[in-house]
Structure 1
Amino acid sequence: MKTTNTGSATYEGLGKGGKGHVSTGSGALPAQPYGFQTRFEDEPGTNPEELIAAAHASCFTMALSFKLAEAGHTDGSVVTHAEVTLEKDDAGFKVTKSALSAKGKVPGLDQAKFEELAKEAKEGCPISRLLDTEITLETKFEG
Protein backbone atom coordinates (compact mmCIF):
# COMPACT_ATOMS: atom_id res chain seq x y z
CA MET A 1 0.00 0.00 0.00
CA LYS A 2 1.18 3.50 -0.82
CA THR A 3 -0.46 6.78 0.11
CA THR A 4 0.54 10.31 -0.71
CA ASN A 5 -0.57 13.32 1.31
CA THR A 6 -0.02 16.98 0.68
CA GLY A 7 0.44 20.21 2.53
CA SER A 8 1.16 23.72 1.38
CA ALA A 9 2.55 26.94 2.75
CA THR A 10 2.68 30.54 1.62
CA TYR A 11 4.82 33.36 3.01
CA GLU A 12 4.29 37.03 2.23
CA GLY A 13 7.21 39.33 3.03
CA LEU A 14 10.66 38.11 3.94
CA GLY A 15 12.46 37.12 7.12
CA LYS A 16 11.14 38.15 10.52
CA GLY A 17 8.65 40.58 8.99
CA GLY A 18 7.00 37.97 6.81
CA LYS A 19 3.83 36.11 7.63
CA GLY A 20 2.51 32.91 6.19
CA HIS A 21 -0.27 30.37 6.17
CA VAL A 22 0.03 26.59 6.21
CA SER A 23 -2.67 24.13 5.10
CA THR A 24 -3.15 20.41 4.78
CA GLY A 25 -4.34 18.95 1.50
CA SER A 26 -7.36 17.36 3.20
CA GLY A 27 -8.56 20.74 4.45
CA ALA A 28 -8.39 19.61 8.07
CA LEU A 29 -5.89 22.39 8.74
CA PRO A 30 -6.98 25.31 6.57
CA ALA A 31 -4.74 28.38 6.18
CA GLN A 32 -3.30 28.47 9.70
CA PRO A 33 -1.05 31.48 10.33
CA TYR A 34 2.66 30.94 10.90
CA GLY A 35 5.81 33.02 10.87
CA PHE A 36 8.69 34.14 13.04
CA GLN A 37 6.32 35.50 15.68
CA THR A 38 4.35 32.22 15.96
CA ARG A 39 7.57 30.21 16.03
CA PHE A 40 9.73 32.19 18.45
CA GLU A 41 7.37 34.64 20.14
CA ASP A 42 3.85 34.41 21.56
CA GLU A 43 1.77 35.35 18.53
CA PRO A 44 -1.19 33.00 17.92
CA GLY A 45 -0.67 30.52 15.13
CA THR A 46 1.36 27.42 14.48
CA ASN A 47 4.91 26.52 13.45
CA PRO A 48 6.69 23.63 11.75
CA GLU A 49 7.88 22.04 15.02
CA GLU A 50 4.36 22.06 16.48
CA LEU A 51 3.11 20.35 13.34
CA ILE A 52 5.88 17.74 13.59
CA ALA A 53 4.95 17.17 17.26
CA ALA A 54 1.28 16.65 16.34
CA ALA A 55 2.25 14.33 13.48
CA HIS A 56 4.59 12.30 15.69
CA ALA A 57 2.07 12.02 18.55
CA SER A 58 -0.74 10.95 16.23
CA CYS A 59 1.41 8.48 14.28
CA PHE A 60 2.81 6.86 17.41
CA THR A 61 -0.61 6.69 19.09
CA MET A 62 -2.12 4.96 16.08
CA ALA A 63 0.84 2.56 15.84
CA LEU A 64 0.47 1.68 19.53
CA SER A 65 -3.28 1.16 19.18
CA PHE A 66 -2.59 -1.32 16.37
CA LYS A 67 0.06 -3.11 18.49
CA LEU A 68 -2.47 -3.39 21.32
CA ALA A 69 -5.12 -4.77 18.95
CA GLU A 70 -2.62 -7.27 17.50
CA ALA A 71 -1.92 -8.42 21.07
CA GLY A 72 -5.62 -9.29 21.41
CA HIS A 73 -6.97 -6.23 23.20
CA THR A 74 -10.30 -4.85 22.02
CA ASP A 75 -10.87 -1.89 24.33
CA GLY A 76 -8.83 0.89 25.84
CA SER A 77 -7.33 4.30 25.23
CA VAL A 78 -3.96 5.86 24.55
CA VAL A 79 -3.07 9.54 24.91
CA THR A 80 0.30 10.79 23.67
CA HIS A 81 2.05 14.12 24.10
CA ALA A 82 5.04 14.92 21.88
CA GLU A 83 7.56 17.65 22.62
CA VAL A 84 9.79 18.59 19.70
CA THR A 85 12.99 20.51 20.47
CA LEU A 86 14.48 23.01 18.02
CA GLU A 87 18.04 24.13 18.70
CA LYS A 88 20.53 26.35 16.95
CA ASP A 89 24.08 25.22 16.30
CA ASP A 90 26.87 26.45 14.05
CA ALA A 91 25.10 25.12 10.95
CA GLY A 92 21.75 26.75 11.81
CA PHE A 93 18.57 25.41 13.38
CA LYS A 94 17.88 21.69 13.76
CA VAL A 95 15.19 19.56 15.35
CA THR A 96 17.25 17.66 17.91
CA LYS A 97 14.67 15.65 19.82
CA SER A 98 11.11 14.41 19.90
CA ALA A 99 10.04 13.28 23.37
CA LEU A 100 6.94 11.11 23.45
CA SER A 101 4.94 10.69 26.64
CA ALA A 102 2.21 8.07 26.35
CA LYS A 103 -0.53 7.16 28.81
CA GLY A 104 -2.52 4.02 28.31
CA LYS A 105 -5.58 2.45 29.87
CA VAL A 106 -6.28 -1.05 28.58
CA PRO A 107 -8.24 -3.66 30.57
CA GLY A 108 -6.28 -6.88 31.11
CA LEU A 109 -2.87 -5.38 30.30
CA ASP A 110 0.03 -4.75 32.67
CA GLN A 111 2.70 -2.02 32.73
CA ALA A 112 5.49 -4.25 31.40
CA LYS A 113 3.52 -5.38 28.34
CA PHE A 114 2.35 -1.81 27.69
CA GLU A 115 5.97 -0.61 27.74
CA GLU A 116 7.05 -3.42 25.41
CA LEU A 117 4.31 -2.64 22.88
CA ALA A 118 4.96 1.11 23.16
CA LYS A 119 8.65 0.55 22.36
CA GLU A 120 7.72 -1.54 19.32
CA ALA A 121 5.26 1.15 18.21
CA LYS A 122 7.92 3.87 18.56
CA GLU A 123 10.39 1.88 16.45
CA GLY A 124 7.79 1.11 13.76
CA CYS A 125 6.04 4.48 13.62
CA PRO A 126 6.69 6.02 10.18
CA ILE A 127 7.22 9.50 11.65
CA SER A 128 9.73 8.10 14.19
CA ARG A 129 11.53 6.47 11.29
CA LEU A 130 11.50 9.74 9.34
CA LEU A 131 13.01 11.89 12.06
CA ASP A 132 16.80 11.93 12.13
CA THR A 133 16.87 12.84 15.81
CA GLU A 134 16.79 11.49 19.34
CA ILE A 135 13.40 10.02 20.19
CA THR A 136 12.58 9.31 23.81
CA LEU A 137 9.54 7.51 25.18
CA GLU A 138 8.02 7.73 28.63
CA THR A 139 5.00 5.59 29.45
CA LYS A 140 2.38 5.64 32.17
CA PHE A 141 -0.11 2.85 32.44
CA GLU A 142 -3.42 2.90 34.26
CA GLY A 143 -4.58 -0.71 34.42
Structure 2
Amino acid sequence: MGLNFSLIAHARFLIGRALRHHDAVDSYMAKDKELRRYELSDPDWEAIKMVTRWLRTFRDATTQMSASRHPTLSTTHAIFRGLQDNVKQMLRDLPSYDPKIADIPRLREGLTAAHRKLSDYHGIFDRSPYYI
Protein backbone atom coordinates (compact mmCIF):
# COMPACT_ATOMS: atom_id res chain seq x y z
CA MET A 1 0.00 0.00 0.00
CA GLY A 2 1.00 3.66 -0.07
CA LEU A 3 1.91 3.84 3.60
CA ASN A 4 5.49 2.79 4.17
CA PHE A 5 5.99 1.87 7.82
CA SER A 6 9.80 1.93 7.78
CA LEU A 7 9.89 5.34 6.10
CA ILE A 8 7.40 6.79 8.59
CA ALA A 9 9.22 5.22 11.54
CA HIS A 10 12.58 6.50 10.31
CA ALA A 11 11.23 10.02 9.73
CA ARG A 12 9.70 10.09 13.21
CA PHE A 13 12.95 8.83 14.73
CA LEU A 14 15.05 11.51 13.00
CA ILE A 15 12.60 14.29 13.75
CA GLY A 16 12.26 13.13 17.35
CA ARG A 17 16.03 13.16 17.70
CA ALA A 18 16.22 16.69 16.30
CA LEU A 19 13.47 17.84 18.68
CA ARG A 20 15.21 16.29 21.69
CA HIS A 21 18.47 17.99 20.75
CA HIS A 22 16.88 21.23 19.56
CA ASP A 23 19.33 23.45 21.47
CA ALA A 24 22.36 21.53 20.20
CA VAL A 25 21.09 21.70 16.61
CA ASP A 26 20.55 25.45 16.91
CA SER A 27 23.97 25.96 18.50
CA TYR A 28 25.77 23.91 15.86
CA MET A 29 24.05 25.67 12.97
CA ALA A 30 24.73 29.10 14.46
CA LYS A 31 28.47 28.34 14.59
CA ASP A 32 28.77 27.19 10.98
CA LYS A 33 28.64 30.06 8.50
CA GLU A 34 27.43 27.89 5.62
CA LEU A 35 24.66 26.29 7.70
CA ARG A 36 23.45 29.54 9.22
CA ARG A 37 21.05 30.17 6.36
CA TYR A 38 19.30 26.89 7.25
CA GLU A 39 18.81 27.76 10.91
CA LEU A 40 15.42 26.81 12.26
CA SER A 41 13.32 29.51 13.87
CA ASP A 42 10.98 28.89 16.81
CA PRO A 43 8.03 28.76 14.37
CA ASP A 44 9.94 26.13 12.35
CA TRP A 45 10.40 24.02 15.48
CA GLU A 46 6.68 24.34 16.28
CA ALA A 47 5.81 23.15 12.77
CA ILE A 48 8.15 20.19 13.23
CA LYS A 49 6.43 19.28 16.51
CA MET A 50 3.07 19.41 14.78
CA VAL A 51 4.21 17.20 11.89
CA THR A 52 5.64 14.71 14.41
CA ARG A 53 2.20 14.35 16.01
CA TRP A 54 0.68 13.81 12.56
CA LEU A 55 3.25 11.14 11.71
CA ARG A 56 2.29 9.27 14.87
CA THR A 57 -1.26 8.97 13.50
CA PHE A 58 0.03 7.45 10.26
CA ARG A 59 2.38 5.13 12.15
CA ASP A 60 -0.48 3.87 14.31
CA ALA A 61 -2.67 3.17 11.26
CA THR A 62 0.18 1.42 9.47
CA THR A 63 0.92 -0.71 12.53
CA GLN A 64 -2.73 -1.78 12.76
CA MET A 65 -2.82 -2.78 9.08
CA SER A 66 0.53 -4.56 9.26
CA ALA A 67 -0.36 -6.96 12.05
CA SER A 68 0.75 -10.50 11.31
CA ARG A 69 -0.85 -12.39 14.19
CA HIS A 70 -4.44 -11.70 13.19
CA PRO A 71 -6.29 -10.94 9.94
CA THR A 72 -6.46 -7.26 9.04
CA LEU A 73 -8.24 -7.22 5.69
CA SER A 74 -11.65 -6.74 7.27
CA THR A 75 -10.47 -3.74 9.31
CA THR A 76 -8.48 -1.98 6.58
CA HIS A 77 -11.40 0.12 5.34
CA ALA A 78 -12.24 1.28 8.86
CA ILE A 79 -8.60 2.11 9.55
CA PHE A 80 -8.36 4.16 6.35
CA ARG A 81 -11.64 5.91 7.16
CA GLY A 82 -10.37 6.70 10.66
CA LEU A 83 -7.09 7.97 9.26
CA GLN A 84 -8.92 10.12 6.74
CA ASP A 85 -11.13 11.52 9.53
CA ASN A 86 -8.01 12.27 11.58
CA VAL A 87 -6.42 14.12 8.65
CA LYS A 88 -9.65 16.07 8.16
CA GLN A 89 -9.57 17.06 11.84
CA MET A 90 -5.91 18.07 11.54
CA LEU A 91 -6.88 20.35 8.65
CA ARG A 92 -9.68 21.87 10.72
CA ASP A 93 -7.36 22.39 13.69
CA LEU A 94 -4.64 24.01 11.60
CA PRO A 95 -5.00 27.77 11.99
CA SER A 96 -5.04 29.93 8.89
CA TYR A 97 -2.32 32.05 10.51
CA ASP A 98 -0.24 31.68 13.63
CA PRO A 99 3.07 33.50 14.01
CA LYS A 100 4.26 30.67 16.28
CA ILE A 101 4.01 28.07 13.47
CA ALA A 102 6.06 28.27 10.27
CA ASP A 103 4.69 27.85 6.76
CA ILE A 104 1.09 26.97 7.52
CA PRO A 105 0.05 27.08 3.83
CA ARG A 106 2.55 24.33 2.95
CA LEU A 107 1.46 22.27 5.95
CA ARG A 108 -2.14 22.64 4.76
CA GLU A 109 -1.12 21.57 1.23
CA GLY A 110 0.57 18.46 2.61
CA LEU A 111 -2.44 17.49 4.70
CA THR A 112 -4.78 18.12 1.77
CA ALA A 113 -2.64 15.89 -0.46
CA ALA A 114 -2.68 13.16 2.21
CA HIS A 115 -6.48 13.42 2.48
CA ARG A 116 -6.83 13.15 -1.31
CA LYS A 117 -4.55 10.11 -1.44
CA LEU A 118 -6.62 8.39 1.25
CA SER A 119 -9.76 9.21 -0.78
CA ASP A 120 -8.16 7.54 -3.81
CA TYR A 121 -7.88 4.32 -1.82
CA HIS A 122 -11.64 4.25 -1.29
CA GLY A 123 -12.07 3.75 -5.04
CA ILE A 124 -9.60 0.89 -4.91
CA PHE A 125 -11.50 -0.68 -2.02
CA ASP A 126 -14.78 -0.36 -3.93
CA ARG A 127 -13.32 -2.20 -6.93
CA SER A 128 -11.72 -4.90 -4.81
CA PRO A 129 -13.14 -8.42 -5.25
CA TYR A 130 -12.37 -9.07 -1.57
CA TYR A 131 -14.71 -8.36 1.30
CA ILE A 132 -13.64 -5.24 3.13
Fold shared by both chains (TM-score > 0.5): no
Determine which structure has the larger helix proportion and give its number.
2
User: TM-score, normalized by length of structure 2?
Assistant: 0.35
- Greater percentage in strand: 1
RCO higher in 1 or 2 (8 Å CA, sep ≥ 6)?
2
Q: TM-score, structure 1 length as denominator?
A: 0.33
